[in-house]
């Protein structure tokens, strides 16, 4: 169920026509898949930003529809709403993963036009007051976007949009398994010593899957696990040394993902 990564899934109270149309198509896909398989409910599997998208889809559907059509939700290294540092460094220095053969700085201006780039910035919920961007003159934490974004040259409207975003995480209220890599060196701070965002930063590393910061993953897990209070199953599986991209490629981690899907299918 491919989506357009330039657009942002809708926030509560902020509808998106692009995603309303997309969600309607996914809903139709699920219903047709169920109908063609003896009206059985489906298992939804999503990876990375697709995890954020599919979680938005599930929460968009009525509860009665979820109970009828969704047997299990499998989130593999989903993008946590609490944010991760890679989103911020793509905003400051350009994305290194979009077109690997092109220098990130040449893609920065285009990247900043995507609505999705403002999602998943490091949030106070996960990152607290710890600096994410360090310079000789000023440090910036997740509380300092009103200062950092203008310093990056972003316009007032963008700053207002970021500051107005209210972080809200609703559990999907369907049986869910969340898998994520751990034990891989993951950037959690960037250093621009002279405050020059046109040069590649130095990086300070912590734990994660090479992309997603593990403390942000755990904050997301805590929010999703609230559905257990309503006796709806939720399970988190940490896979040692699985990177963000290769978790669905490497044999040892792919087997764990497939085991979860097969278990849910019984």
| CA distance linking residue 196 with residue 178, whole number of Å | 38
Q: In the chain, pLDDT over 70 holds for what percent of residues?
A: 94
CB atoms within 10 A of CB 52: 21
Q: Which residues pair with 48 in a beta bridge?
A: none
pLDDT, the chain, mean: 91
What CATH number is attached to the domain comprising 83? 3.40.50.1820
In this structure, the strands spanning 133-134 and 186-191 are: parallel
Query: Does a structural domain hold residue 9?
Result: no
| Percentages (nearest 5) of helix, strand, coil residues in the chain | 45, 20, 40
pLDDT in tens, 208-229: 999 999 999 999 999 999 999 9
Query: Does a structural domain hold residue 11?
Result: no
The total domain count for the chain is 1
Query: Does a structural domain hold residue 10?
Result: no
CB 182 within 8 A of CB 209: yes
Pick from 30-44, 113-127, 202-216, 249-263: least confident? 113-127
CB 154 within 8 A of CB 112: yes
Q: Which pLDDT band holds residue 11 (cuts at 50, 70, 90)?
A: low
Active site residues: 48, 209, 244
Whether pLDDT at 240 is above 90: yes
pLDDT in tens, 174-202: 999 999 999 999 999 999 988 899 988 99
Predicted pLDDT of residue 17: 83
Dihedral sign for Cα 149, 151, 152, 157, please. positive
DSSP class of residue 184?
B
Query: Does a structural domain hold residue 213?
Result: yes
| Boundaries of domain holding 239 | 17-265
Average pLDDT over every residue of 138-152: 92
Predicted pLDDT of residue 258: 97
Average pLDDT over every residue of 28-52: 96
pTM: 0.91
- Which residues have C-beta within 8 Å of that of residue 104, sequence separation ≥ 6? 90, 93, 94, 95, 96, 200
Query: Does a structural domain hold residue 51?
Result: yes
CB 54 within 8 A of CB 44: yes
């Amino acid at each position: 169920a491919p989506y357009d990564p330039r657009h942002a899934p809708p926030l509560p109270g902020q509808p998106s026509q692009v995603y309303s149309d997309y969600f309607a198509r996914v809903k139709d896909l699920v219903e047709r898949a169920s109908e063609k398989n003896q009206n059985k409910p489906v298992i939804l599997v999503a990876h990375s930003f697709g995890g954020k998208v599919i979680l938005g889809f599930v929460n968009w559907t009525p509860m009665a529809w979820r109970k009828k059509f969704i047997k299990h939700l499998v989130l593999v290294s989903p993008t946590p709403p609490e944010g991760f540092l890679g989103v911020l460094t793509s905003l400051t220095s350009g994305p290194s993963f979009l077109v690997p053969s092109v220098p990130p700085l040449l893609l920065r201006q285009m990247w900043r036009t995507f609505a999705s780039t403002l999602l998943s910035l490091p949030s106070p919920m996960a990152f607290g007051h710890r600096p994410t961007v360090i310079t000789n003159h000023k440090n910036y934490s997740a509380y300092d976007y009103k200062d950092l974004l203008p310093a990056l040259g972003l316009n007032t409207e963008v700053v207002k949009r970021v500051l107005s975003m209210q972080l809200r995480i609703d559990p999907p209220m369907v049986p869910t398994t969340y898998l994520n890599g751990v034990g891989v060196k993951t950037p959690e701070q960037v250093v621009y010593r002279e405050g020059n965002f046109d040069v590649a930063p130095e990086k300070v590393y912590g734990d994660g899957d090479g992309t997603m910061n593990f403390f942000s993953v755990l904050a997301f897990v805590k929010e999703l696990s609230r559905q257990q209070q309503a006796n709806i199953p939720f399970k988190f599986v940490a896979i040692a040394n699985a990177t963000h991209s290769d978790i669905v490629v490497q044999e040892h981690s792919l087997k764990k993902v497939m085991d979860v899907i097969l278990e849910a299918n019984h």
